[in-house]
Structure 1
């Protein structure tokens, strides 16, 4: 790897598997992760690492995998509120079955779990609880640490390294529901195409990988966005800009949230039809989620549908149904 040679998917799967099983020293794993990052992770390494994670996950059958996940790799440093979480709620309101996979804050970011918990949703649920939420609300939240126990042994090392590693990149590729549809944001332009190719290798049927040219791991409000659209193995690349959808540009700073409380307030206000940049960026990303989820025939139609859903308060209704269903379900460790 130090010579710039990538591992095959099989080699990466074995190496990450050994790490997840505790068969490698902390020093060796740290060196491996840093070497991968310096070289630049390949599609094969991403797919192989994700397969290792998936094989050790606590699998959960949700709609036979016919679900959508929305996520970002993180690492953009913008500190925006939880756009991908809002996009997931909007997609669910449009009738897309959503299994959002996420965590609490990592490296200072506000995690999806932090925001949903503040909105009253119980986040640590057994598989039956996830199924109840999906049936009642059209959406459920899979708390990553509970379904990836093998990753816990490396939490301290990841904090110590203090930088994005392969583990951050394969986490959004390792939803234990094995979703067939994904909207995935990428902050590092080097990873834009490899992530799309990894999704294809993992059998994802339809996906959009997005990278804002201003560095956001979302569809950007402040610049054009690169899109890699995956459809049954074929990848098509193009660019979009806010003006394509009648939306004015705005600097990323307008979407900044200092902490979980502010992020939650911004998301709730935007979903309650609060006009402004937060609602605009949710319309863009929520529209993409609706499109990838198969409820719109074009991205433009998805954005229009997202606007209507926000105006009618239907995404907040999804939150309320999730809240009720989650509290009617057994928390983790209490099932049986």
Structure 2
């Protein structure tokens, strides 16, 4: 399947163009046409379409060595609270430099932008502020649309289901000089996603795409201690699959980590997940994902060591103390 229909829908307007785009996406996901080569073609069309994105690719935002970008596909079949946002905070408190993409939610109640607003934490709209935030706080939350405003205006809100663009666009559009990426995907084909991200951003040498199947018809775009977690680990163009299986998620675990019904309660769940006395089910989920970020930032740190380091950062209050520091940036108008 070529990208002609995609290109026409991308440049079109109105309901007919939107439905053509959705039809193209559904047929790809229902069939076997989703390949790294096709994602590369889609990326080329988007870059041609969005001049701002093309300019950033020529001159990426410079960030400290060891910086990891963190992104997610959304559209999970089981909705958790904003785990990747909490994990990014915990990883930064543990010594990683993190750039985390944000947006409002389409398929759930709260996206990262919604939760951060409820917490009073700034989500940057000017990528030029990213170096300052990573240097000062170890983390910068940045609106995806600030890197690709024309594409975001065309794409946002058009899909209430996982689309081919979800496989690679969130990671590829965070155009900073990162050393690694961590991308969560609510789909089992993490290999195609990792290869697609590499094709779009060959300047990023390392990365990992993660997903977890937690029960029949239920998948999250994060790592978890239940079900089957699968990672596509990218190293200089080569992709290796790694899987880990344990018993399925229990009812109590699902109730504790589920997505809440409004921004305030999702924000409260995030705060609890990085507190020293947080619920073990919630803190375990966040720690696992934070450890993956930390290990990506520091390749010499083993997974078990990374997990211990992020746990220490939570237990000694470093993660919890990072939030008021970020709020103070918001109060100073730093966005």
State the TM-score, normalizing by the size of structure 2: 0.82
Does the alignment pair 1:279 with 2:283?
yes
Gaps of 5+ in 1: 2-6, 332-336
User: Where in structure 2 are there 5+ consecutive unaligned residues?
Assistant: none
Are residues 150 and 253 of structure 1, via their aligned partners in 2, closer, same or farther at CA, if it must alter by over 3 Å? Answer: same
Correspondence for 2:268 among 265, 269, 272: 265
**Pairwise mapping of residues 90-129 of structure 1 onto structure 2 (< 5 A)?**
90-129=90-129
- Helix, strand or coil for the counterpart of 1:99? strand
- Aligned pairs for 1:133-144 (under 5 A) are 133-144=133-144
Q: Deviations over 1:89-115 (max 9, x none)?
A: 122112222111120111224211111
For residues 158-215 of structure 1, give each alpha carbon's deviation from its aligned partner in whole angstroms, at most 9, with x where no partner exists. 15xx3222233333232132633111222211x2210122233232311122121322
Q: 1:29 aligns with which of 21, 24, 29?
A: 21
For 1:177, the equivalent position in structure 2 comes to 176
Q: 1:125 to 1:326 in 2, by over 3 A?
A: farther
Q: 1:199 aligns to what?
A: 197
Three-state SS of the structure 2 residue aligned to 1:284 is: helix
- Counterpart of 1:72 in structure 2 is 72
Please give the alpha-carbon distance, in whole angstroms, between the structure 2 residues aligned to 1:80 and 1:200. Answer: 27
Distance 1:315 1:249, change over 3 A: farther
Matches of 1:194 and 1:211 in 2, distance apart? 13
Tell me the distance in 2 between the aligned counterparts of 1:187 and 1:54. 24
Displacement of 1:26 after TM fit? 3.9
How far 1:49 moved relative to its partner?
2.6
Picking from 28, 38, 48, the partner of 2:41 is 48
1:4 is aligned to none
Give the structure-1-normalised TM-score.
0.82
User: Where in structure 2 are the equivalents of 1:1-336 lying within 5 Å?
Assistant: 1=1, 7=2, 12=3, 19-22=9-12, 25-40=17-32, 41-53=34-46, 56=50, 57-58=52-53, 59=56, 61-63=61-63, 67-155=67-155, 158-159=158-159, 162-173=160-171, 174-177=173-176, 179-189=178-188, 191-201=189-199, 202-203=201-202, 204-214=204-214, 215-240=219-244, 251-258=253-260, 259-273=262-276, 274-294=278-298, 297-329=301-333, 331=335
CA-based RMSD of the aligned residues comes to 2.9
Q: Write the distance in 2 (CA, Å) between the matches of 1:240 and 1:157.
A: 34
1:145: Cα distance to partner?
A: 2.6
